[in-house]
Structure 1
Amino acid sequence: MTSSYGLQGRVAVVTGGTRGIGRAVAERLAGAGALVCVGARDADEVRRTAERLGGAGLAGDVADAGHLRALAELALDTFGRIDVVVNNAATNQPYGPLMDADPDAWRAAFAVNVEAPLRLVRHAWHGWMREHGGAVVNVCTEGAGHVGPNVGAYGTSKAALLHLTRQLAGELAPGVRVNSVSPGLVRTGMARFVWEAGEEELAAGLPLGRIGEPEDIARAVVWLASAEAEWITGADLLVDGGTRVRTAYTSGYAVHDRLRSAEPPRR
């Protein structure tokens, strides 16, 4: 990290900040000198993460509007400001064909993947960013750019988040920059059902020869949140190991094969 990141003393709120990509983002922000407020569902993990990073944290579900309000208030009450919002928490449920999807589960996916990011940005905007500026980074997915078996609710809701990113970039400019990062397959617990039983095959199908690590995504998120990206807004940064440019000479559709056959964890 260098001082050019401009994050020293800034305050960042990270949802889903105790595991996988969210934890890597929170750690990297703290390493750049930011004060970090994390939200996640497991209270013990939130407490340990906040203590380790010297920040703050609040346990709760991002589908709960009250939790998001309280998370923003915690950051404001503890640190006096919110400069960065990272909307990372997500759900991949319901998993299966859309024709069989439970309507309540479908709505729940949008509550977590689309409505929650909007709610948190609203709280940050009204509490600090409207007057002082800031940066928002939404964690989307490479899969929002195409269709795949059994992930229709996830992909559709994340595609909505991509459009929300662009819409907010227009509405909140010039003071607040809003961008997104779209990961490919990353070694996280949420994606374990895809990569665990056949990582070597999946890696062979990627031009860069491996699946992603949470730190790969965290570097992109923190860069977009930093002063080094000060003339970037409304952009989506694809961090996918070359998934979109894989050729016919690789096993490029192995992820789809895994999605058809694997049983995902339940949220």
Structure 2
Amino acid sequence: MSDAAGRPRLHEGAVAVVTGASRGIGLGIAERLVADGARVVVTARKAEALAEAVDRLGGPEHALGVAGNAADEAHQDEVLAAARETFGGLHLLVNNTGINPAYGPMLDSDLDVARKVLDVNVVAAFSWIRKAVAAGLGDAGHPGAVVNVASVAGLGASGVIGWYGVSKAALIHLTTELGYELGPDVRVNAVAPAVVKTRFAEALYEGREEKVASRYPMRRLGVPEDVAGAVSFLLGRDASWVTGQTLTVDGGVTLAGGV
């Protein structure tokens, strides 16, 4: 299939893995990649939610769901093998899985919770990339590309989601480092969204959306489609000379130092 200009769709023939994609930003990214021609393997913990996501993505012709814990290396191996076995390749990886179980001052944080946040949001993302590269991410037709979903919380202090911000700052630097180390064969970039209207972020705006959005020059909060378009760009041919970068997708909220 081609776009309106007669060109092949941006990711026509590519196979993508998107973690944490049963809902929210991850599902929005998967939907955009399918619309742009890719076939996707989506992951999440709950099989039922993944089955619903696969139906929304167009069924087994376009998507496969594999349930499991994103930080579990055996699950990562299973997913990457399923991408090749089901769709015949592995070209694109989106690390979207993230947790934020702590809210409030950092000094009140439980150390086990802090370790868990770093394990899921940073170490697991690194493991996914390492395993994908070892499995031969990309080919001549579709060079390997990775996008990590970070956050503006990794760019400045929030006062209430500190460990989440620490993990996202680490993910941003991981992106920079691997962008350097994996070139020219694999590009690694990140997006840093501000508040996006999802269940994951509800605590940051629920009941006061208008007030929160008033801090944004664009005068609205984000939606998953805002992030999905940026991710699709970074994975595609128009970003073929872009690596190790973090694209802030924030409605302008960081322009005046906000997070």
Query: Same fold, TM exceeding 0.5?
Result: yes
Q: Alpha carbons of 1:5 and 1:177: their partners in 2 closer, same or farther (altered >3 Å)?
A: farther
Q: Alpha carbons of 1:243 and 1:168: their partners in 2 closer, same or farther (altered >3 Å)?
A: same
Corresponding residue for 1:41?
45
Is residue 204 of structure 1 aligned with residue 214 of structure 2? yes
- The match for 1:28 among 25, 28, 32 is 32
Is residue 109 of structure 1 aligned with residue 113 of structure 2? no
Q: Supply the distance in 2 between the matched residues of 1:137 and 1:55 (Cα, whole angstroms).
A: 19
Is residue 18 of structure 1 aligned with residue 22 of structure 2? yes
Contact kept? 1:76, 1:127, Cα under 8 Å: no
Give the gaps of 5 or more residues in structure 2.
none
Q: Supply the distance in 1 between the matched residues of 2:154 and 2:235 (Cα, whole angstroms).
A: 22
- Equivalences for 1:1-267 in 2 at 5 Å? 2=3, 3=7, 6-53=10-57, 54-129=62-137, 133-246=143-256
Query: For each residue in 1:36-66, what CA deviation from the matched residue of structure 2 results, as whole angstroms up to 9, or x when unmatched?
Result: 0000111111122223323111111112222
Query: For each residue in 1:199-254, what CA deviation from the matched residue of structure 2 results, as whole angstroms up to 9, or x when unmatched?
Result: 1111111111101111000000011011111110011100100001248xxxx6xx
CA apart distance, 1:116? 1.1
Contact kept? 1:136, 1:176, Cα under 8 Å: yes
Between Structure 1 and Structure 2, how many residues are aligned?
A: 249
Contact kept? 1:203, 1:211, Cα under 8 Å: yes
What SS does structure 1 have at the residue aligned with 2:135? helix
CA apart distance, 1:100? 2.1
Give the gaps of 5 or more residues in structure 1.
256-267
Q: Supply the distance in 1 between the matched residues of 2:253 and 2:106 (Cα, whole angstroms).
A: 24
Q: Alpha carbons of 1:96 and 1:33: their partners in 2 closer, same or farther (altered >3 Å)?
A: same
Q: Alpha carbons of 1:130 and 1:7: their partners in 2 closer, same or farther (altered >3 Å)?
A: closer
Q: Alpha carbons of 1:193 and 1:25: their partners in 2 closer, same or farther (altered >3 Å)?
A: same
Q: Supply the distance in 1 between the matched residues of 2:169 and 2:158 (Cα, whole angstroms).
A: 13
Amino acid at match of 2:37: G
Amino acid at match of 1:83: H
Contact kept? 1:178, 1:233, Cα under 8 Å: yes
Q: Supply the distance in 1 between the matched residues of 2:127 and 2:84 (Cα, whole angstroms).
A: 16
CA apart distance, 1:196? 1.4
Q: CA RMSD in A?
A: 1.7
Percent identity over the alignment? 43
Contact kept? 1:223, 1:229, Cα under 8 Å: yes
Q: Supply the distance in 2 between the matched residues of 1:64 and 1:104 (Cα, whole angstroms).
A: 17
Query: For each residue in 1:47-93, what CA deviation from the matched residue of structure 2 results, as whole angstroms up to 9, or x when unmatched?
Result: 22223323111111112222112111111221121110000010112
TM-score by length of 1: 0.88
Query: For each residue in 1:83-123, what CA deviation from the matched residue of structure 2 results, as whole angstroms up to 9, or x when unmatched?
Result: 10000010112323222211111111011100111111112
What SS does structure 1 have at the residue aligned with 2:157? coil
Q: Supply the distance in 2 between the matched residues of 1:178 and 1:102 (Cα, whole angstroms).
A: 32
CA apart distance, 1:5? 5.2
CA apart distance, 1:19? 0.8
What SS does structure 1 have at the residue aligned with 2:115? helix
Contact kept? 2:50, 2:66, Cα under 8 Å: yes
